[in-house]
Amino acid sequence: MNKALRIFQFIDSSHPYIIMLVEALSKIKNVKVYHFHKSFRKEFFLRLKDVIGSHIIHFHWIEYMLRGKNIFIRILNAIFWLLFVKSLTMMGKKVVLTLHNLRPHERSESRISYIFFRKFLEKSDLVIVHNDTTKKMTEKYYKLQGGKRIIIIPHGEFFSYYNRFDRINVGINEKELSGIKILFLGNIRGYKGLNYLKRVVENNFLNSNEIFFIIAGRCLEKKICEELKELATTAKNVLFIPRFMTNGEVRFLMELCDLGIIPYRTISTPGSMILFFSYGKPVIVPNLLVVKEYCEQAKACVLYRRDRCYEGITDAIRGLLKEPEKIKKLARNAIMYREKITWDRIGITTVKYYLKLIEKGNILREGL
């Protein structure tokens, strides 16, 4: 194994993306993958030997490195991790960063986050993003020079992850549901546009037998959560589940719904879209640049204008009610798209870029 390509995935291993990426890389001959088992903060010094012994140090979700009780701690965290990355490069290690979010969802101390992200990007030997729109936005927003360091590797499908878990019913009597079932799944936050969905339901589809809305996810912003709770108590065709969904519950909801709705105001990597596509479910989405890029690839979307969210969502739903066969056609397209973003493909592509960095192309000659 001394000739193996050694990679350290620098992030907690609980996220489905990391689990599937590690599994895909581990299948490739002469590749050894290390990662944290629980928390990179708690295990950092315990796993430092594996980090230093790796050829590639691959970072993800670096916004978590900034977290702290106050601004002073967050600044110290930023300095520590930037010095750590610099020390890795001085030791001859290759630093790879997958930029899952253009900027952190939490905007506190945004100046600190911006400087930290930009410095980290500059110190990285390779930056991976999941789509061309985010690549262009990253180069512009962080004023990066030498765009060749930013490459595109698609985000992998979620079907093969969630389908390994048994279905867990969230408390729904499936026989009592009628009409088209539309699902929103994810953390409840203001930027996700749920206020528009609430107005659409109240003014156009309240207690309709033709359509059933399910909104599920952790409440991270009190105001919108209270509004959705109130809606669910007055509307017989709205179910609001304000909590974290387990893997089995995610699978249950994905298999239950007919399509998804993602009324985001802003987004850089639409993981929710990929989750719905993974289960062959079309989505109702705004015509944001990055969303349009995925829709052009998957051909499984009903788009509406982001500057007319209320009218757009309303018209999209009404159109599907008039033409329900369209949902089946879009669903078939979603399944075909899923076959293009398998983790085996993504693993091989990722390793090829690793090898270009360290110029050890002979290592995987047989495996690739």
* DSSP secondary structure of 63-107: GGGG--SSHHHHHHHHHHHHHHHHHHHHTTPEEEEE-SSSS-SS-
Q: Residue 301: which pLDDT band, with cuts at 50, 70 and 90?
A: very high
User: Are residues 107 and 196 located together in one domain of the fold?
Assistant: no
Structural domains of the chain, count: 2
The Cα–Cα gap between 260 and 327 comes to 11
> Tokens 């796993």 map to which residue?
47
To the nearest whole number, what is the mean pLDDT of the chain?
91
User: Are residues 312 and 233 located together in one domain of the fold?
Assistant: yes
User: Does 283 map to a domain?
Assistant: yes
Count of CA atoms in the C-beta half-sphere (13 A) of 281 = 30
Q: Are 257 and 181 in contact (CB under 8 A)?
A: yes
User: Are residues 32 and 135 located together in one domain of the fold?
Assistant: yes
pLDDT tens digit sequence for 218-244:
999 999 999 999 999 999 999 999 999
Can you say whether the dihedral through the CA atoms of 347, 349, 354, 360 is positive or negative? positive
User: Are residues 122 and 236 located together in one domain of the fold?
Assistant: no
User: Does 246 map to a domain?
Assistant: yes
User: Are residues 296 and 317 located together in one domain of the fold?
Assistant: yes
Pairing of strands 150-152, 94-98: unpaired
User: Are residues 114 and 203 located together in one domain of the fold?
Assistant: no
Which residue intervals of the chain are DSSP H helices?
Answer: 16-26, 40-43, 48-52, 71-90, 110-123, 132-141, 159-162, 194-200, 222-234, 247-256, 271-278, 289-298, 309-322, 325-338, 343-358
The Cα–Cα gap between 272 and 170 comes to 19
| CATH number for the domain that contains residue 280 | 3.40.50.2000
Of 358 and 163, which is predicted with more confidence? 163
pTM: 0.91
pLDDT tens digit sequence for 241-252:
999 999 999 999
User: Does 319 map to a domain?
Assistant: yes
User: Does 364 map to a domain?
Assistant: no
Residue range(s) defining the domain that contains residue 267: 161-338
Tell whether the model's pLDDT for residue 281 goes beyond 60.
yes
User: Are residues 232 and 127 located together in one domain of the fold?
Assistant: no
Between vectors from CA 189 to CA 204 and to CA 324, what angle results, nearest 5°? 35
Could you tell me the two tokens for 228? 């959705």
Q: Is 183 exposed, middle or buried (0-12, 13-18, 19+ CB in 10 A)?
A: buried
Q: Report, in angstroms and rounded to the nearest whole number, the Rg of the chain calculated over CA atoms.
A: 22
* DSSP state for residue 4 in the 8-state scheme: S
Which residues pair with residue 126 across a beta bridge? 96
pLDDT tens digit sequence for 57-110:
999 999 999 988 899 999 999 999 999 999 999 999 999 999 998 887 655 558
Q: Residue 3: which pLDDT band, with cuts at 50, 70 and 90?
A: confident
Q: Are 280 and 334 in contact (CB under 8 A)?
A: yes
User: Are residues 146 and 191 located together in one domain of the fold?
Assistant: no
Q: How far apart are the first and last CA of the chain?
A: 17
Count, residues in the chain: 368
User: Are residues 89 and 107 located together in one domain of the fold?
Assistant: yes
